[in-house]
Amino acid sequence: MGATIIEKIIARNIGAESVKPGQIVTVNVDRVMIHDIFIPFVADKFEEMGFTKLWDPDKVVLIYDHLVPASQLDDARHFKRGNEFAAKYGMKNVHRSDGICHQLMTEAGYVKPGNIVFGTDSHTTTYGCVGAFSSGIGYTEMASILGTGTMWVRVPETIRVNISGKLPDNVTSKDIILTLIGDLGADGATYKALEFAGDTVENMTVASRMTMANMAIEGGAKCALFTPDEKTAEYCEITLTEAETSLVGDADAEYCQVINYKAEDFVPVLACPSQVDNIKPVKELAGTPIDQVFIGSCTNGRLEDLMAAAEILKDKKVAPFVKLIVTPASRKIYREAAANGTIEILSKAGAIITHPGCGLCCGRTGGILTDGERVVATNNRNFLGRMGTSKVEIFLASPKTAAACAVSGNIAEVE
Amino acid sequence: MKPMTIADKIIAAAAGVDHVQAGDINTVEVDKLLINYGTTHLTIDMYHKLKNPRIADVSKLVWVVDHNVPCDSPKTAASHKKMRDFAKAHGITFYEGAGVCHQVMMENHVRPGELIFGADSHTCAYGALGAFGTGVGCTDYLYAMVTGKSWVLVPETLRFNLTGRLPEGVYARDLILTIIGQISANGANYMAMEFGGEGLATLTMADRIAICNLCVEAGAKTALMEVDQVALDYLAEHGRTPKHIFKSDEGAKYAQVYDIDLSTIQPIVAKPHFVDNVVPAAECTGVKIDEAFIGSCNNGRIEDLRVAAAVLKGRKVHPLVRLLVVPASQTVYQQALQEGLMEIFMEAGAIVMNANCSVCWGSCQGVIGEGETLISTGTRNFKGRAGHPNSFVYLASAATVAASAVKGEIVTADMLD
Amino acid sequence: MVYDIDTNIIITTEYLELKTIQDMTPFAFSPLRPELAAQIQPGDIIVAGKNFGCGSSREQAPEIIKALGIRCVIAKSFARIFFRNSINNGLLLIENSDLQAAVQEGDTVTVTVNQDIEHAGKHYAITSLPQNLVDIISAGGLVKAMRKLNGLE
């Protein structure tokens, strides 16, 4: 009997021959990520639980991203508590202004194929892009992992998503994942693992896979998984072991659902207010006036995203009275985009370019909106009130669509 | 005819009279009207309450959204929207995200000899180009917007004769902070501060803007500099010509004359919580800092960023210090990008933001927390300005701020290893 | 019946900065119904549609619901992080898909733990929780369970 990727990862982690969906097991955690919003709570709970040392300080990564730069008086308290906690317990992996946690975890080499990783953020599913089992948890649970190095999980069932063929021009992995979420519904994959396969996925960059793994949570998924390949190896700067290359969903594995897509069938889409699964083709809404465009976030703030936007914005200007805000996902990406001329193109088009961080996506600063305003954004959520008042309309799209909208001043497809 | 100062002459021209003197009240034609985000919503509200709302000459209006860009709350977003909608409806020259208003004005609008009202206290910066810029409240602004006119009380003038040259590692900001310390925070109340003398020629436009911009911190109504080749070159580079070049007459009456030898100026720090609380930087060394800020209409120009980059090149920002680098305008940002300065800042570990007022304004990006200390190239160090009411702001030059960011405590650049 | 109540609706990011959970409770559910938090009485029960608690991992969401005095949430389904966070904080969650069609806001619903839900004379079955979760709940939440592990309780 074959196994799905998630079953293989969990079985190896606990030293079992195999595991079955529904089984509850205790896994050994390879790495954890805590971000600035929750570090004070994690620190308090950790000490309240009576722990006096971290199970392994090297396995703990602390990242300031939601609050960089600080926009509220109390933000500095989070940095202070984080700095104290890191110093007290000997944590060396602290990033104070290097970018978004989910970008840094793989980019800085903290996550490798086959790892089991938890983070105090729902988009922790992102690391499935390199074949890791990663998932979001709350701060109490994180505190308990910091003390014990273990966590219980229920082995999830797996939904297999096969995609084959060549994507049409101006359709990106963002359009695929939005379409999938629309088809599944916002809870269609709750408690389950999403496993992506097929030549379309194989031909994708790791960055594009990240976009899809990142948004798996928007379908309720516990995790998303891609088989590690040569691209993964290059991205992670490793040589793949046999154990890593064997992280493939077996032909005779048991899937609770199999979804097949033809890449040629995808079109540019938008997630319309105020649910991520409210998906419509861009074409249907073309001409709707907009006030702002946001390109950034752990979903779509990578170099290829900025470059895709720059290609559309080159020698053009953002429409009058429309703001384009660009927030690269990491310091490394910002520097690369500056070095290859992408940032200059965006700036000359009139983009407001901010320091890498969560920015507008987390709704604290970075372009908050007010009643009656409409924004097209490349991030992962369009929930009511996420970017300002509950009368703000948020449309989620790919960086290409977003850039086209910025030039047009309306919802628009790439010409 | 009695001799006049530059301020007298600009007002006389704006009033259409041959002669004015300190103490006169004149009705003047205003050349330009700048407004930024701060009080515009009030102006717009009052405008709509007028019986016969109209704009005298829309081509004189420049509206700049520069505080809290990008927006950090629904409240600021609503104010920005109000401003944007009004500008759109009335065809007003409008900038959003292009930079701090005064830098946008210097780059695109100010001409020597103009009388400019700005709904922001640091409007006096325009004196660097020989324009009479002054800050006004929203009522004055509205009146000028509707009628094209206003009244001005002709100020007395303090004259500063500059000689010599600033020593290596000493900047215009050290000079103006020294002057403010010397004459105190209300030493130039209602007055014009006029700068001239052979030493002026040694100062770049960036230096001059930094000096004039900060004169309001001595209470000045405006600041004015003689227009020389440096100013004319800047103007030509930006595609503009003077409206009129005025020079003070021989024997013009000054309330006081100060002779300042630039070569005697030293690195200065203004300590909390007043701009005139200045001491030699050496007296503040060792003060631990949590954040450092390089930017603002006072010190966010390309020249300032070059100074900071020279200090930061090959060094790292102290791990527990947040260094914000915020260019004063998109133009400055792009120039810094081309010169490779952004790479130096990013490599050093700085937080590089888009052009805007940032933490100088205090209520948005980079706010400091309770008990925290900021060293800043911003305009003010008033209590609570950069964040928590119980926090501390030191003002210094870009070089001193950059050096302090590396060390984690206040030091001057020459003290770094 | 409202569905997909996300954690940003339960508590908007803006208010996460407030110092205590008590400070945040007045803003609970404010994007959807700003008046609701003030109307909630201790002992109230939330009945919702599918995917309750979806979205971000913010644990303040279940903590605030608990702090408002809500004893239990009945929904067609729960998002997984919210589910774990609730268990870890001792907030009772019950999955049930039949009650929603019958219940109106303001009705009285009686929950007998590990037994059933009663509404308008009708009884609805409750599925029992796995033992490891029962252990956490019976310890009084994960903090207490860990304190026990560390010999503190």
Predicted pLDDT of residue C153: 80
Q: Which amino acid is at A206?
A: V
pLDDT of the residue at C127: 81
Q: Which of residues 292-321 of A touch B (CB under 8 A)?
A: 320-321
State the Cα–Cα distance between residues A122 and A308, nearest whole angstrom: 27
Q: Which residues of chain A have pLDDT under 70?
A: none
Q: Identify whether residues B253 and B277 lie together within a single domain.
A: no
φ, ψ of residue B320 in degrees (nearest 5): -95, 5
CB contact under 8 A, A51 and C85: no
Same domain, B44 and B86: yes
Is the pLDDT assigned to residue B346 strictly greater than 90?
yes
C142 in A contact zone (CB under 8 Å): yes
Is A413 part of a structural domain of the chain?
Answer: no
| Residue B247: φ, ψ to 5° | -125, 150
Question: A10 lies in which domain range?
Answer: 5-263
Q: Which two tokens stand for residue C15?
A: 């208010």
Domain C7-149, classified CATH 2.30.110.10, yes or no? no
Task: Flag whether the pTM goes above 0.80.
Answer: yes
The overall average pLDDT reported for chain B is 96
B390 Cβ partners below 8 Å, 6+ apart? B370, B371, B384
In whole angstroms, what is the distance from residue B150 CA to residue B334 CA? 38
Q: Is B84 helix (H, G, I), strand (E, B) or coil?
A: helix
Whether residue A368 and residue B71 make contact (CB cut-off 8 A), yes or no, is yes
The last residue of a domain, from among A215, A243, A263: A263
A297 plus A229 within the same structural domain: no
In the prediction, which pLDDT does B41 show? 87
Asked if the Cβ–Cβ distance from C143 to A143 is below 8 Å, we say yes
Residue A230 shares a structural domain with residue A320:
no
> Does any domain span residue B1?
no
Distance CA(A379)–CA(A293), nearest Å, equals: 11
Q: Are residues B350 and B335 in the same domain?
A: yes
Whether B255 and B274 share a structural domain = no
A245 and A353 assigned to the same domain: no
Residues of chain A in contact with residue C13, where contact means CB-CB under 8 angstroms, are 362-364, 386
Q: What's the number of CA atoms in the CB half-sphere (13 Å) around residue C13?
A: 31
pLDDT at residue B128, rounded to an integer: 98
Mean pLDDT for all residues in chain A: 97
pLDDT of residue A1: 82
A34 in the same domain as A170:
yes
Does residue A317 share a domain with residue A219?
no
The whole-number pLDDT of residue C133 equals 86
Q: Mark which of A245, A263, A281 sits at the end of a domain.
A: A263
Give pairs for B280-287: CB < 8 Å, separation 24+.
B281/B396, B281/B400, B281/B410, B281/B412, B282/B412, B284/B394, B284/B410, B285/B409, B285/B410, B285/B411, B285/B412, B285/B415, B286/B409, B286/B410, B287/B373, B287/B394, B287/B409, B287/B410
CB contact under 8 A, A74 and C80: no
In A153-212, the residues whose Cβ lies within 8 Å of chain B are none
Residue B363 pLDDT > 80, yes or no?
no
How many domains is chain B partitioned into structurally? Answer: 2
Residue numbers in A near B387 (CB within 8 A): 70, 73, 76
Q: Which of A391-405, C52-66, C126-140 has the highest mean pLDDT?
A: A391-405
CA distance B392 to B390: 7
The number of beta carbons lying within 10 Å of the beta carbon of residue A273 is 18
Tell me the C-alpha distance between A141 and A78, whole Å: 19
- Of B229, B245, B262, the last residue of a domain is B262
Judged by CB atoms closer than 8 Å, whether chains meet at B333 and A70 is answered as no
Q: Which domain holds residue B293?
A: 268-415
pLDDT in tens, B269-313: 999 999 999 999 999 999 999 999 999 999 999 999 999 999 999
Distance CA(A255)–CA(C46), nearest Å, equals 34
Cα dist. A207→A106, A130, A232, A301 in Å?
10, 10, 10, 10
Specify whether A150 is located in the same domain as A288. no
Check CB contact of A49 with chain C, cutoff 8 Å: yes
What is the predicted pLDDT for the residue at C74? Answer: 96
pLDDT in tens, A168-221: 999 999 999 999 999 999 999 999 999 999 999 999 999 999 999 999 999 999
Could you say which of A201, A230, A263 is where a domain stops? Answer: A263
- Identify the CATH number of the domain in which residue A318 sits: 3.30.499.10
Per residue in B228-264, pLDDT (tens digit) is: 999 999 999 999 999 999 999 999 999 999 999 999 9
Indicate the number of domains in chain A: 2
Say if residue B214 is in the same domain as residue B355. Answer: no
Name the residue of chain C whose CA is nearest to A72's CA.
Answer: C17
Residues of chain A with C-beta less than 8 angstroms from the C-beta of C149: 49-50, 148
